[in-house]
């Protein structure tokens, strides 16, 4: 089986890294192509995954559409040379388009209901569309729901073990209360016109009364906030979140990651209420608190920090969630192997039909 996986975002490296390893260990050939965005390349290299860069994130109006067209052409050239059986990506229009053009099977994963443009140009061309069971939209016969989240592919205990030396490397101890803030750039196609945290300085001033505040940010930090920025390597971010007493930010993926690591998480975004995984984590498991108002989010964060047992409570909630969910990697691998078997059967049937027709 020859599998091509296209990486469009740093988070996709985490999502697919165990799949790449599992496929290769089982004798399959894997080619990883990538978009040079943020820390994608650094993550691929830290994971020891060979890759081929297809494009780099652009700037200016219309840059995303131009990049999609360019990536379609480049991916088609690479795919023709590699000749994959299956092409895989996360809401990746280029994967869906190229696989369709080549008559190959495409697996598309998505958990982002509000990504209307990407959905419109991707899903009609996909063969199978995988979503969490809590995904709020019905995508028809192509949709395959599973009891899990993208983030469990790399953060469930079977796949993530915190670095025991992380705290000492950053001059921290088990007694320190760590508060992580994250501010995103709002530059993705599905983020245009949306907004998140508006009271950054006030957040820091209030929250540092409870512990050590660290900021990870895709934005420039003004007003004296730069000194709070933590220079943690991309592969160490999950160790930071694991040890934190609280996460607060407008980074949605990081909010989910924090919750799944057993860290109280508060998410601020105008997109609140549009995504099924966030709604499930908030209403069914009470592990994530979502607001479109920064002041309300700050008050919730203070309430959590005022509870000395909040971290332990989140640990119990995490145990309950993990008992309800599946091994996402095994699920994906199972579908890839199933697809391989179906292709072999199809090939056998075609050869059998040709043989019989020639004998006649």
**For 110-161, what is each residue's pLDDT tens digit?**
999 988 989 999 999 999 999 999 999 999 999 999 999 999 999 999 999 9
Task: Calculate the CA 255 to chain-centre distance.
Answer: 11
* CA 237/CA 192 separation, integer angstroms: 26
Which pLDDT score, from 0 to 100, does residue 351 have? 44
**Does the pLDDT at position 61 exceed 80?**
no
| DSSP string computed for 53-104 | EEEE---STTHHHHHHHHHHHHHHHHHHHH--SEEEEES-HHHHHHHHHHT-
**Assigned token pair, 29:** 């050939």
Lowest mean pLDDT among 79-93, 102-116, 156-170, 186-200: 186-200
**Assigned token pair, 270:** 């105008």
* CA 84/CA 30 separation, integer angstroms: 9
Q: What is the pLDDT of residues 210-232, one digit of tens each?
A: 999 999 988 888 889 999 999 88
Which pLDDT score, from 0 to 100, does residue 60 have? 57
Among 123, 131, 130, 103, smallest CA distance to 338 is for: 130
Q: Predicted confidence band at 359 (pLDDT cuts at 50, 70, 90)? A: very low
Domains (range + CATH), the chain: 2-146+327-359 (3.40.50.2000), 166-324 (3.40.50.2000)
Q: Which has the higher per-residue pLDDT, 170 or 357?
A: 170
Q: What is the pLDDT of residues 311-325, one digit of tens each?
A: 999 999 999 999 999
**Assigned token pair, 305:** 């920090």
Residues of the chain with pLDDT > 70, as a percent, come to 90
Residues of the chain with pLDDT > 90, as a percent, come to 76
Q: What is the pLDDT of residues 251-299, one digit of tens each?
A: 899 999 999 999 999 999 988 888 999 999 999 999 999 999 999 999 9
**Does the pLDDT at position 358 exceed 50?**
no
CB contact set of 221 (below 8 Å; sequence gap of 6+): 183, 200, 215, 228, 229
**Does the pLDDT at position 244 exceed 90?**
yes
Is the distance from CB of 239 to CB of 218 less than 8 angstroms? no
Residue whose tokens read 């994959």: 84
**Does the pLDDT at position 355 exceed 70?**
no
CB contact burial 189-219 (16+ within 10 A = b; e otherwise): ebbeebebbeebeebbebbeebebbbbbbeb
**Does the pLDDT at position 25 exceed 70?**
yes
């Amino acid at each position: 089986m020859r599998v091509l996986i296209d990486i469009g975002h740093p988070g996709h490296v985490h999502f697919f890294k165990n799949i790449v390893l599992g496929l290769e260990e089982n004798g399959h050939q894997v080619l990883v192509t990538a978009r040079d965005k943020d820390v994608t390349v650094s993550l691929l290299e830290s994971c020891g995954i060979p890759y081929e860069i297809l494009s780099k994130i652009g700037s200016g109006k219309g840059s995303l559409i131009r990049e999609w067209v360019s990536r379609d052409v480049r991916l088609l050239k690479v795919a023709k040379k590699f000749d994959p059986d299956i092409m895989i990506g996360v809401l990746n229009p280029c994967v869906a388009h190229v696989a369709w053009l080549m008559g190959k099977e495409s697996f598309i994963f998505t958990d982002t209901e509000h990504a209307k443009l990407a959905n419109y140009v991707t899903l009609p061309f996909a063969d199978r569309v995988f979503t969490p069971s809590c995904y709020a939209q019905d995508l028809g016969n192509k949709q395959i729901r599973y009891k899990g989240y993208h983030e469990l592919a790399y953060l469930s205990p079977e796949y993530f073990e915190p670095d025991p030396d992380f705290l000492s490397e950053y001059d921290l101890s088990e007694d320190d209360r760590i508060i992580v803030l994250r501010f995103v750039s709002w530059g993705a196609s599905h983020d245009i016109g949306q907004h998140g945290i508006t009271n950054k300085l006030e957040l820091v001033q209030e929250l540092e009364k409870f512990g050590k505040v660290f900021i990870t940010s895709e934005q420039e930090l003004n007003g004296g906030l730069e000194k709070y920025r933590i220079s943690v390597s991309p592969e160490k971010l999950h160790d930071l979140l694991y040890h934190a007493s609280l996460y607060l930010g407008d980074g949605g993926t990081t909010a989910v990651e924090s919750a799944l690591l057993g860290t109280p998480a508060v998410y601020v975004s105008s997109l609140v209420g549009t995504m099924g995984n966030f709604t499930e984590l908030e209403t069914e498991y009470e592990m994530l608190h979502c607001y479109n108002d920064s002041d309300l989010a700050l008050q919730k964060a203070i309430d959590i920090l005022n509870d000395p047992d909040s971290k332990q409570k989140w640990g119990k909630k995490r145990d309950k969630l993990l008992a309800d969910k599946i091994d996402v990697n095994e699920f994906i691998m199972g579908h890839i192997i199933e697809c391989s078997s179906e292709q072999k059967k199809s090939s056998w049937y075609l050869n059998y039909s040709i043989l019989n027709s020639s004998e006649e």
